């Protein structure tokens, strides 16, 4: 993003600095959209296969004892 703004010279003969900044902004937005979509697919698959959250009952029993059979804190 900063190359087009900070360079001060044209990067190609037919592309001005403002156009290059616009191209880079589109690239940043496309990368963000790709990452969001890929993350959604990965998390949806993980949620289907293993689940992303523990049950409310396990939360109330404290996860240290449920998951590791050990108390992490002595309250």
Q: What is the pLDDT of residues 12-35, one digit of tens each?
A: 677 788 888 899 999 999 999 999
Residue 74 belongs to some domain of the structure: no
Q: What 3-state DSSP class applies to 15?
A: strand
Sorted by sequence, the CB contacts under 8 Å of residue 7 that are 6+ apart come out as: 17
Residue 29 belongs to some domain of the structure: yes
Dist. CA 2–CA 18, nearest whole Å: 11
Residue 59 belongs to some domain of the structure: yes
Structure token digits, residue 9: 């010279």
Dist. CA 65–CA 59, nearest whole Å: 10
41, 47 Cβ separation under 8 angstroms? no
| pLDDT, the chain, mean | 80
Residue 75 belongs to some domain of the structure: no
16, 10 Cβ separation under 8 angstroms? yes
Q: Which domain holds residue 50?
A: 2-68
Residue 22 belongs to some domain of the structure: yes
Residue 48 belongs to some domain of the structure: yes
Q: What is the pTM of this model?
A: 0.58
Number of structural domains found in the chain: 1
Residue 50 belongs to some domain of the structure: yes
pLDDT greater than 70 at residue 38: yes
């Amino acid at each position: 993003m900063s190359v087009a703004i900070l360079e001060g010279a044209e990067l190609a003969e037919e592309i001005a600095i403002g156009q290059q900044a616009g191209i880079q902004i589109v690239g940043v937005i496309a990368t963000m959209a790709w990452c969001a979509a890929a993350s959604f697919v990965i998390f949806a698959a993980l949620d289907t296969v293993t689940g992303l959250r523990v049950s409310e009952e396990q939360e109330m029993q404290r996860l240290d004892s449920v998951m590791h059979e050990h108390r992490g804190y002595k309250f």
